[in-house]
Amino acid sequence: MPSNSHFHFDLLLSLSTLDESRSPSWVTLNFPTYLLIREGVDVQALEKKFEPLVFKHVGEQQYQIHLEFQSISMFTVSSTLSGEPE
């Protein structure tokens, strides 16, 4: 693993081994999610397609979720974005 990666670990486990990962709640932000998007895809249009899916699972709950894709090339060791992995 490159030293400037935001993945720091001593051990890897399957996410399904954690009870928390099986929660039906979509309002937890404990697990970063990565998508491999083909070159040439309109990312903003893809984000829009995810909105109904998120609304279906979050609905009218007290939480407001804003979905925004970020290129992994934008990750930096010194980033100040809220909630971004190290």
For range 55-80, the mean pLDDT: 69
Half-sphere exposure for 40 (CA within 13 Å, toward CB): 0
- Looking at residue 46, what is its pLDDT? 92
Return the domain boundaries, the chain: 33-86
pLDDT digits (tens, 9 = 90+) for 1-54: 677 777 777 887 888 888 877 877 777 667 777 888 999 999 999 988 988 888
CA distances from 48 to 2, 20, 86 (A): 33, 28, 27
